Chain A
Amino acid sequence: MPAPSPAEVTGLLVAWRGGDAGALDRLLPLVYAELRRVAHRYMRDERPNHPLQTTALVHEAYLRLIDVTRVDWQSRNHFFAVSAQMMRRILVEAARRRNAGKRGGDASHVALDEAFVPAADRGADLLALDEALEHLATLAPRKARVVELRYFAGLSVKETADVLGVSVETVMRDWRMAKLWLQRDLSSVDRARQEGTR
């Protein structure tokens, strides 16, 4: 896919924010491709096996894709919100593939996702977390979004609050509760796994 111009991507982002939901669909593949590009580049600069936080990827993708002179803060938050979802899907898919011990899909997909290998030994955790998060989303959707933004896009509490349009206090309480909930879900998964191997 050719690299999009910031004007184009910014236009989409702004249009989406302005209510043009169709713009999101054109935006997503661009964000995805850019996240991948940025990841590739960092691999080139960083040493192998040097883990890279997704925070860096997401911020970098934002700077590269968006003409920041043309967007306001709210648009920036929208971008991060999209990226968080994207990172989550990408990482969970990669973990799933790694777990399965094979790479599914056609060749172009392998090439695309090569860039996103969740750091070693996190694969299984990530799948369990994703599942627990799905469950949480049915009970408390906003808390699940808080986790997505904070963990998968590395947003700060303040940024998360901006994205969701709630107060910092609300995010902190959501985060606290979500962690409690996920911790319990994850440890029950652990237990189930241990029992399963016995």
Chain B
Amino acid sequence: MMPDRFDEIERVCQAALDRPPETRAAFLDDACKGDAALRAEVEALLAGASRAASLMEVPVCVDATPTLNAGQRLGPYEVLSLIGEGGMGEVYKARDTRLDRTVALKILPHSVAADPTRRIRFEREAKAIAALTHPHICTLYDVAEHDGSMFLVMEHLSGETLADRLLKGRPPLDEALTVATEIADALAAAHRHGIVHRDLKPGNVMLTKAGTKLLDFGLAKLKKSGEPAALFASTQMASLTAEGTIAGTLQYMAPEQLEGKEADPRSDIFAFGAVLYEMLTGRRAFQGDNQASIISAIMSAHPPAVSSLQPLTPPALDRLAGKCLAKDPEARWQNAADLADALRWNAEAADRSASGIGLLTTAGVRPRRRVLALAAAVLVLAAVVPSAVVWWLRPAPRIPMFPPVRFLMDVRPAEELNAGGVMLTVYPASNPGGSGTALTWTPDGQALVFVGRRGGIQRLYVRRLDSLEAKPLDDSVGAQFPVVSADGRWIAFWADGAIKKAPLSAGSTETWVDGITQPPIGMAWSEAGLLIGPYEQEGLHERTGTRSVSLVTSGSAPKPVTVVQQGEASHILPHWLPGGRAFLYTARRRALSWSDDQVFAHDVATGARTKLLSDAVDARYVGGYLVFLRRGLLMAIAFDADRLQATGEPFALVNHVVQGLTTMTGAGQYSIAPTGNLAYLEGQQAGWPDARIVTVNRRGDVVPLATPVKSYGMNVRLDPHGSRIANSVYTLTGREIWVYDLEHGGIVARLGLGGEVSANRSWTPDGKRLTFGWVKPDGLREIVWQAVDGSARPEKLAEVGEPGGWTPDGKSLLGVRDHDIWLLAGAGGARPIVQSAADEWGPALSPDARWLAYASDTSGRPEVFVQSFPGPGERQMVSTDGGNNPLWHPRGGELFFLRPPDGAGRSQMMVASQDPQSGRLGSPRPLFRFLLSDLRFYSTPFPGYDVAQDGQRFFVTQTVPSPPLRPVTQVNIVLNWFEELKAKAPATR
């Protein structure tokens, strides 16, 4: 069937479907008049309509298969067998090959490993747990990672769980007391180290030959806080309830935990009481058929006294268990060590035959409670008169009249500032990195808030100028984009999928705008509301996002307020102007660079915008000036904030101010307090990864050229004489083509300036011009050519397609368009030459112009084909096991191509000889192997390499591993910088 016929069938079909079923027959009579075949075709299709409706209604699914296999190695650990599947994940028995000991591996849920913030929290907690060595605690040896998933390496225990033991019936009293004492000892040791178990239950107690071992300390916190992403919520909930995981765990949970309060040591004591009760009586302390009834029992029911069920139980033990199970944590045992002592006493007393036990309950408890009460009173006092925050409430001091003072401030106790460098080098990042400004003054200019990192944990720090060290802000782990409210009392920031706010003094963090999955690019806060730059938000069913600036006023959802215009990529980095009537933002015009960025003022009431600056990023207003960045140079211009008008000429202030430590947002790492203090980071921006141009011979030996190391594009092109080489170079301000002279050295030309050139280019046969795809400064794309000597502007050849090489006569440009091979421009205009339903790409014409080689995936994977040019003629498949990127020997007779990479990124250079008479190519043979991540031969639709004139060497780019970014440990401070600014040019008032 031809596509035209299909279109006809469809037209009739769609029209029929748009009509009520009963009128369709009549419609078809009319529509298919005289074309019985058409009618038959349409009727056959319509007949399946009801079955078709349910076809593919649910997207295709994949099944789960086991995670690890015996014999598999995870770092030093060799998997032996699957032991079981807990609520937390699979547990494997494994061997630590370094120490030759048996260990247990517990694979953690992906939700933990994938979320950097949660991961940091978990790793910290795991470190504390690993520090616990106690005979009755299962030792955590290590938290390790393999292939992106995290797992715990624990002591391997053999024995049964207490849950299994209880299934067999109530243990004898002495055994129960021994187990209980050992558990209490383990809890006491953990509590001393500040670790709460949170999920103590019989299933977490192992009975081994070496005694009782308590498992899974602190992991419950993971599970509780491990809410699945909304996208998967339903499936995860289903699996949890289906397995009864929640119901099983609930029965030992303290009332305060069920209320959602933070668990403390006394919550463990409640759980311990429930376990003890069960050991003593053989029945659960709190029972119910479903979750609701269990919860209700825990919250309000008092289980019958142990002695009422087991009359022989010593009354002291009865009271001891009852005191564990008190609803009010204050009424429980306050401390597991006391409890352990009491149990020991009971056990000894039981040995001696029960007597005199009634004394024990008063031992050592009262004095401790008094101390606690006193501590609590002090805390309350501190909250009522928070001396630490008094200065926030003071009016901002007047601008002092003394000369500017400069100094470097270190970031102690943080180890580095922001440390966003992680993003470019390692992934998964151990913190969220930094896409935005990492520092901000408080409005009084007396304290600097910055994003610091210590021990791998990123959080906010507040450094008062009159103190020696910064203070970490609690509950700000993973924070980015700190902004302080105008009254200096609150701080807002992005962390952990939400915009949060917290009192700057002390107090708990609250979520302000939830579901912001990635940090917005810029935030600003004043009485007029919170402005946020582009962000993504996760809703119940889908993610939405914006490219413009949004406004959040109290309690409202973010509302986009700016409108991204044609030729703009996004609106970022908003900053309020005084009075909140208008704000500034940066309009980005390029996705990859910030050369063309413009600063606008947006009038909130009218929605009108005024262009203020070109080639400027991250402008902010201070005392009659706009201060902004232009490629690392901090500049200012006098500015009338009422008329939204810049006056005078821009002037330079400070050079080498860092823009966006790691990402390409261009956010300026500087802050100016209304009082005139400046803080900034000095340094260079992070750029694109580097590469060098090298030659590789037929054996695979690599020799670098003398050309500089740069961020090159992949496609190296030799000129027809083999004396010059062209490649694209990525810079922070764009992408251009650099041409090197191979014989005499040095750069001979730079083309495509001011735009972004695409990766593919070719020389004209006379070597005078280069042809390339180009995104012009106005954002539109076209294929152009330009004289290499730069004597003329780029000249347009075509609008669509990716340019390949020219025919040797220089009359036609070969290329790829719509997944087919075309003559894109030149004699005869644009027309396809190899066209099929499959994809064809990478056309390469033999030097005598008689043979066309190209790649096609017609067989389902890339293979190299050769056919006579311009055709017609049969095509020969040259590759036998996949092939791509064919190129001819410049003198003919041989065709080179690449084997498609395997999963590990390995590929191979192949060569096939051509019979001069028939044009047939012989069997390909391998030349050398290489890694894609090292030598960048492989590229689509055109090869990353080119072939030297003698066919003995290949020119290609090689990746240069980039050194880690140096950590930022100091902030440049200029007090009273405003005086300096005023001295340079009068402000507009």
A119 B61 Cβ-Cβ under 8 A: yes
Does the CB pair A51–B65 fall under 8 Å?
no
Per-position 1/0 for B281-302, Cβ under 8 A of A:
0000000000000000000000
- Is B52 a contact of A108 with CB atoms below 8 Å? no
Instruction: Verify A187–B51 contact, CB threshold 8 A.
Output: yes
Docked CA distance A15–B938 (Å): 16
A11 to nearest B CB, angstroms? 7
A19 engages B758 (CB within 8 Å): yes
B65 close to A115 (CB less than 8 A): yes
Q: Are B64 and A49 in contact (CB under 8 A)?
A: yes
Task: State in angstroms the CA–CA spacing of A21 and B943 once bound together.
Answer: 11
Q: How far is the CA of A17 from the CA of B144 in the complex (A)?
A: 37
What separation, in Å, do the CA atoms of A37 and B689 have in the docked complex?
Answer: 25
Contact flag A44-B10 (CB < 8 Å), given A73-B545, A153-B59: no
Alpha-carbon distance between A45 and B245 when the two chains are bound, in angstroms: 14
Give Cα distance in the complex from A42 to B756, angstroms. Answer: 40
Interchain CB contact under 8 A, A179 and B56:
yes
User: Known contacts A4-B427, A45-B110: does B13 contact A50 (CB below 8 Å)?
Assistant: no
A83 CB–B CB distance under 8 Å: no
Complex: chain A residue closest to B773, CB-CB: A19
Find out whether the CB atom of A109 lies under 8 angstroms from the CB atom of B903: yes
Contact A179/B53 with A21-B816, A112-B903 known, Cβ cut-off 8 Å: yes
A34 CB to closest chain B CB, in angstroms? 9
Residues of the A chain whose Cβ atoms lie less than 8 Å from the Cβ of B90: 44
Contact assessment for B59 and A25 in the assembled complex, using a CB-CB cutoff below 8 Å: no
Q: Does A168 contact B (CB under 8 A)?
A: no
B775 at the interface (CB under 8 A from A): yes
Contact A40 to B713, CB < 8 A, known contacts A47-B239, A122-B60: no
Chain A residue at minimal CB-CB distance from B818: A141
> In the assembled complex, which residues on chain B have CB atoms less than 8 Å from the CB atom of A3?
148, 427-428
Most central of B52, B423, B519, B939 by chain A CB within 10 Å: B52
Is there a chain A Cβ closer than 8 Å to B63's Cβ? yes
**Which of B110, B243, B518 makes the CB contact (< 8 A) with A68?**
B518
A31 at the interface (CB under 8 A from B): no
Answer yes or no: B521 CB below 8 A from chain A CBs: yes
- Asked if A14 and B759 make an inter-chain contact with CB atoms under 8 angstroms apart, the answer reads no
Q: Tell me if A120 counts as interface (CB < 8 A to partner B).
A: yes
Which residues in B have their C-beta under 8 angstroms from that of A42?
A: 64, 110
User: Given A41-B114, A179-B56, is A5 in contact with B423 using a C-beta cutoff of 8 Å?
Assistant: yes
Interface of A is mostly: helix
In the bound complex, do residue A43 and residue B64 qualify as a contact, i.e. CB atoms below 8 Å apart?
yes
Docked complex Cα distance between A23 and B570 (Å)? 23
Q: Are B107 and A44 in contact (CB under 8 A)?
A: yes
* Contact (Cβ within 8 A) B62 A116: yes
A17, A184, A186: residue with the most chain B Cβ atoms closer than 10 Å: A184
Q: Is the CB of B89 within 8 A of A44?
A: yes
**Partner among A14, A23, A39, A40 whose Cβ is within 8 Å of the Cβ of B591:** A14
Would you call B59 and A29 a contact (CB within 8 A)? no
Most buried by A among B232, B428, B802, B903: B903
Which one, B3, B61, B147, B802, contacts A51 given CB within 8 A? B61
A122 to B547 Cα, complex, angstroms: 40
**When the two chains form their complex, are residues B545 and A50 in contact, meaning their CB atoms are under 8 A apart?**
no
Bound complex: CA of A42 vs CA of B64, how far in Å? 8
Establish whether residues B518 and A184, one from each chain, have CB atoms under 8 Å apart when the complex forms: no
* Distance to closest chain B CB from A179 (angstroms): 4
Within B50-98, which residues are at the interface with A (CB < 8 Å)? 51-53, 55-56, 58-67, 89-90
1/0 per position for A1-13, CB-CB distance to B under 8 A?
1011111100100
Cα separation A108 to B659 with both chains bound (whole Å) = 42
Q: Give every chain A residue within 8 A of B330 (Cβ-Cβ).
A: none
Interface segment out of the listed B41-49, B523-531, B648-656: B41-49
Residues of A within 8 A of B1 (CB): 139
Q: For B938, what are the chain A residues with a Cβ–Cβ distance below 8 Å? A: 25
B663 CB contact (under 8 Å) in A25, A53, A70: A70
Please judge, given known A-B contacts A18-B756, A43-B67, A117-B63, whether A53 and B58 are in contact too, CB under 8 Å. yes
B44 near A118: Cβ-Cβ < 8 Å: no
Given contacts A1-B904, A18-B591, A20-B758, contact A176 B59 (CB under 8 A): no
Check A41–B149 contact: CB distance below 8 A: yes
User: How long is the Cα–Cα vector from A67 to B427 in the complex, in angstroms?
Assistant: 12
Interface string of B699-728 (1 = CB under 8 A from A): 000000000000001110000000000000
Whether the Cβ atoms of B518 and A176 lie closer than 8 Å is no
Chain A positions within 8 Å of B521 at CB level: 69
Q: How far is the CB of A189 from chain B (nearest CB, A)?
A: 13
CB of A106 closer than 8 Å to a CB of B: yes
**Residues of B with C-beta under 8 A to A6:** 423, 427
Decide: A57 near B427, CB < 8 A? Known: A73-B547, A187-B51: no
A101 interface residue, CB < 8 Å from B? Answer: no
Q: Which residues of the partner chain B approach A111 to less than 8 Å between Cβ atoms? A: 903
A6-B427, A47-B239 as given contacts; A109 in contact with B435, CB under 8 Å = no
Pairwise interchain contact A180-B63, C-beta atoms closer than 8 A: no
Which residues from chain B contact A147 at a C-beta distance below 8 Å? Answer: 56
Q: Tell whether, in the assembled complex, residue A50 and residue B52 are in contact, meaning their CB atoms are under 8 Å apart.
A: no
Of the candidates B62, B147, B944, the one whose C-beta lies within 8 Å of that of A37 is: B147
Say yes or no for B176: interface residue by CB 8 A criterion.
no
Indicate whether B424 reaches chain A with its CB closer than 8 angstroms.
Answer: yes
**CB pair A5 B48 closer than 8 Å:** no
> Does B355 belong to the interface (CB within 8 Å)?
no
Interface hits, A112-168 → B, CB 8 Å: 112, 114-120, 122, 126, 129, 134, 137-141, 147, 150-154, 156
Q: Which of B116-156 contact A (CB under 8 A)?
A: 147-149
How far, in whole Å, are A26 and B938 apart by their CA atoms in the complex? 8
State whether B235 touches A50 (Cβ < 8 A).
yes
Tell me if A182 is interfacial: C-beta within 8 Å of chain B: yes
Question: Cβ of B592 < 8 Å from any Cβ of A?
Answer: yes
The residue in chain A whose Cβ has the minimal distance to the Cβ of B837 is: A138
Smallest beta-carbon distance B320→chain A, Å: 40
Question: Are A5 and B148 closer than 8 Å at their CB atoms?
Answer: no
A11 to B521, CA, bound (A): 17
Measured in the bound complex, the distance between the Cα atoms of B756 and A3 in whole Å is 28
Report chain B residues within 8 Å CB of A24.
Answer: 940
CA distance A134 to B836 in the complex (A): 12
Chain A residues positioned under 8 Å from B534 (CB to CB): 69
Residues of B within 8 A of A63 (CB): 517
With A37-B148, A70-B591 already in contact, the answer to whether A120 and B713 are too (CB < 8 A) is: no
Cβ contact of B14, chosen from A43, A49, A137, A173, cutoff 8 A: A173
- The answer to whether A52 and B664 have CB atoms under 8 Å apart is no
Q: For A184, list chain B residues within 8 Å (CB).
A: 44-45, 48
Q: Mark A71-93, 1 if CB is under 8 A from B, else 0.
A: 11101000000000001010100
- Report the Cα distance A120→B424, complex, angstroms: 40
- A50 contacts B239, C-beta separation under 8 Å: yes
Given A109-B903, A138-B837: 9 more A-B contacts, CB < 8 Å: A7-B423, A21-B759, A22-B940, A43-B66, A75-B591, A117-B65, A129-B56, A139-B3, A179-B52
A selection of 22 A-B contacts at a CB cut-off of 8 Å is A15-B759, A17-B591, A18-B775, A21-B940, A22-B759, A23-B759, A29-B901, A41-B148, A46-B239, A48-B65, A52-B64, A54-B60, A69-B520, A106-B902, A122-B60, A140-B6, A147-B56, A151-B60, A152-B60, A179-B55, A180-B45, A183-B55
Residues of chain A having any CB pair with chain B under 8 Å:
1, 3-8, 11, 14-15, 17-26, 29, 32-33, 37, 39-57, 59-60, 63-64, 67-73, 75, 87, 89, 91, 106, 108-109, 111-112, 114-120, 122, 126, 129, 134, 137-141, 147, 150-154, 156, 173, 176-177, 179-184, 186-187
Binding site for A on B (CB under 8 A): 1-3, 6-7, 10, 13-14, 17, 44-46, 48-49, 51-53, 55-56, 58-67, 89-90, 107, 109-111, 113-114, 147-149, 231-232, 235-236, 239, 243, 423-429, 435, 517-521, 534-536, 542-543, 545, 547, 569-570, 591-592, 662-665, 688-689, 713-715, 756, 758-760, 773, 775, 781, 802, 816, 837, 860, 901-905, 932, 938-942, 944
The 8 closest A-B pairs by CB, nearest first: A154-B59, A41-B110, A22-B939, A19-B758, A183-B52, A51-B61, A25-B940, A43-B64
